[in-house]
Amino acid sequence: MKELKIDAKDMDYRELNEKIHEVLDENKDLEKLVLENVLGQRFIGNGVSRKDLTIIVNGVPGGDLGMFMKGPKVVVNGNADHAPGNTMDEGFVVIHGSSGDVTGHSMRGGKVYVQGNVGYRSGIHMKEYKYKFPVLVIGGAAKDFLGEYMAGGIILNFNMDKEDTENIEGRMIATGIHGGVIYIRGIVESSQLGIAADIKDFTEEDIEKITPYIEEFCAEFGYSNEIKEKLINSKYTKIAPISSRPFQKLYTPDLR
């Protein structure tokens, strides 16, 4: 496996990102790129269009990690700042820690897995189109407005620090949702939902749908089989849109 390393110590974000582009341009067969001493540099992986490439981030990346990215897998050994996976096209972002607000913002494909918690408005405006299907998996808790304006894809929220019989925190969940689906482990009251969202029955079919993601999540973060089984056999609240056209009736049908 061809592997290269960049030491990001004292590098400005532009310097680091340009260096990444240069290394990738010069090494078309590169399979693994390790970034050491990352400390708040933004836009890592921005617009990188490469399959079969893994970028290891050792440290804490800045905002918009993997924005517009198409293809690579990014593994963060640390927390991430806001909006990892912003408008991501394809690829896989794995965060061994927590991430900030708007995680997975407008993601249109690929996957973002966060081991810990995520901030406000995560999964906002995720959307899908045919083969493009975004997936956001959150191990810990999510702040308010999860899945706001969601238009496609899937959000899985495990709340691993709690039992599935407990009420979760969070307000205005899925406000304006008009596509996609959210599964939250634990109890969600309908008063916690935003406009246009609805609680649906969690069925066998849903368990089948989420099981592969649970398995992948546990494999990525090294969770035991016991935990995996516990997650698969937990109770989830399924949240989906009332309609794909939530605001249709807001406007007068009369011709003016």
Partner 1 sequence: MIPSTVPPKYKVFVDPERCMLCERCTTECSWGVYRRQGNKILTYPNRCGACLRCASLCPRDAITVTLNQSCGREHPVWTPEVKQDVVTQAKSGCILLSGMGNAKEYPIYFDKIVLDACQVTNPSIDPLREPMELRTYVGKKPEKLEFDYVEEEIDGKKVKKAKLKTKIAPNLKLDTPIMIGHMSYGALSLNSHKAMAKAVKECGTFMGTGEGGLHRDLYGYSDNIITQVASGRFGVNSEYLNKGAAIEIKIGQGAKPGIGGHLPGEKVSAEVSMTRMIPQGSDAISPAPHHDIYSIEDLAQLIRSLKEATRWKMPVFVKISAVHNVSAIANGIATSDADAVVIDGFKGGTGAAPKVFRDNVGIPIEVAIAAVDDRLREQGNRHKISIIASGGIRNSADVFKSIALGADAVYIGTAAMVAMGCTVCGRCYTGQCAWGIATQKPELVKRLEVDDAARRVANLIHAWTHEIQELLGAAGINSIESLRGNRDRLRGVGLSEIELNTLGIKQAGM
> In the complex with partner 1, which residue's Cβ is closer, 180 or 186?
180
In the complex, the smallest distance separating the C-beta of residue 200 from partner 1, rounded to whole angstroms, is: 18
Do 39 and 80 meet the contact criterion of CB atoms below 8 Å apart? no
CB nearer to partner 1: pick between 226 and 254: 254
- Rounded to a whole number of angstroms, the minimum distance from the CB of residue 253 to partner 1 is 7
Closer CB to partner 1, 79 or 86, in the complex: 86
Write the burial class of residue 131 (CB in 10 Å: 0-12 exposed, 13-18 middle, 19+ buried): exposed
Least Å distance, CB 229 to partner 1, is: 34
Q: Token pair for residue 59?
A: 């440290």
Interface residues toward partner 1, by CB under 8 A: 14, 17-18, 21, 42-43, 46-47, 49, 63-64, 67-70, 82-83, 86-87, 89, 102, 105-106, 108, 121, 124-125, 127-129, 132, 148-149, 151-152, 176, 178-179, 244-256
DSSP tag of 140: S
Nearest residue (CB) to partner 1, 17 versus 115:
17
Cα separation of 125 and 216, whole Å?
24
User: What burial class does residue 111 get, using C-beta atoms within 10 Å of its C-beta: 0-12 exposed, 13-18 middle, 19+ buried?
Assistant: buried
Shortest distance (Å) from residue 168 CB to partner 1: 22
Are 161 and 189 contacting, i.e. CB atoms less than 8 angstroms apart? no
Q: How far is CA 163 from CA 37, 146, 160, 168, 184, in A?
A: 36, 20, 7, 9, 12
Decide whether 131 or 225 has the Cβ nearer to partner 1.
131
**Minimum gap (Å) between residue 149 Cβ and partner 1:** 6
